[in-house]
Structure 1
Amino acid sequence: MNETVSFGYREVDASEKAGMVRQVFSGVAGSYDLMNDAMSFGAHRLWKDQFVARVKPRAGEAILDMAGGTGDIAFRLAKAGAAVTVADINPEMLAVGQQRAGKRQLSGLLWSEQNAEALSFADRSFDAYTIAFGIRNVTFIDKALAEAHRVLNYGGRFFCLEFSTCVWPGFAEIYDAYSHRLVPKIGKALAKDEESYRYLIESIRRFPPMPEFERMIRAAGFAQTKVEPILGGLVAIHSGWKV
């Protein structure tokens, strides 16, 4: 029997998931940033600021921003003078990011179509690896984490910003109702795509809880792992070091 993996609440053949995810983001690329603002009431901007502050990018260091298509994280990293490679499996998302970079007159970024589970970069190519709201969409999270570890220099750092499971009583139930009932409707109104946003919400629910994901990061070889919950774990910053 073929191996199956989750695609939202559905189980699909593992060989099909990457193409299905690529189709989701191809459809929403043009409205992705608008939808982020609408779904989070603009809070995603603060989360990303906090995330990059934890990364502490430095001038001259090489950083891989995986699943960074539209450039939100990369633009913040580049402000510090870091040499940023923006990688994404979806060319439409990368195209949006390049357009946005052009409007900002940012010319120092590298853009690369990549699968997080099979990166084309050499071992020990980067000083830091970042991924924001992307790792829950890969087919095999453990493979993506292993690749992150492989391409980092010794002493390199891994940072992941991802939705998680809120542990605040009351707030968790309110967010669950909002996300399941309203976010797909917002997607239909603003992006003309209800089903893609239904999948994105479902993918959050299927993502491992914070302690389990931290164990996966350690299992990939990272040391000094840490989890920083935001809004009770609605969002979390995960980090680790390659030593």
Structure 2
Amino acid sequence: MNVVESLTPRQGLRVLVTAGASGIGLAIAKAFVQAGARVHVCDIDSEALAALPDGITHTRCDVSREDEVARLFDDARALGGLDVVVNNAGIAGPTAGIDEIDHASWTQTIDINLNGQYRVAHRAAPLLRESQGLLVNLASVAGRLGFAYRTPYAASKWAVVGLTKSLACELGPDGVRVNAILPGIVRGPRIEKVIEDRAAKRGISYAEMETENLSKISMRRMVEPTDIAAMALFLAAPGGTNISGQALSVCANVESL
């Protein structure tokens, strides 16, 4: 196999993507389908699931609920096993000072962003051992940088990086690779809401907040959902065979938040 061939995942990979009906998750699901994979996704948005392209099967699932995650894996059995699991489900959480964040908002953010990844990894590990497969956990550049007024989100994403590195050590002897992708400011409705909330908290305009955010990126631009999908594909390709335990930023070099 030459170097160029090593950049393409093999045909027929069996892939599960959480929160795969929109945004980054949908971009990843579509990319794997285009690469010849069989893809199953979950999401909490029933309308988005109904609008999925042909060739992507799905389950409605809230990863904060153990019973729903169990049903997700029951449904995914139709793939006959799993080669790649993409732990993508997460929420932005509140934008507020630590003394303003209520217990319920903090707990919900941790339960979805961190405990949800545990629930999926818990059930995925035996299947990935069988296939000597790949687990990809979606973290964030907020998992390597401080993020004022977004403490539950940042705390959960730092924890995802720790989870990733620990699972890479634990599962590596069984041939399973585990990596985290750390997206930067990804273009789309979700970041627009984050910018709007931070602008309101700071008492500045949306345009001023967006300009300030971009000024902290050395390349002065947002990244696209397809950039994150491209990294996931590379990790699943033969060229990614010896990459494990890594926290890989796809962010145009975010220097601070």
- What TM bracket, shorter-length normalisation? 0.3 to 0.5
Larger strand share, 1 or 2: 1
The structure with the larger Rg is: 2
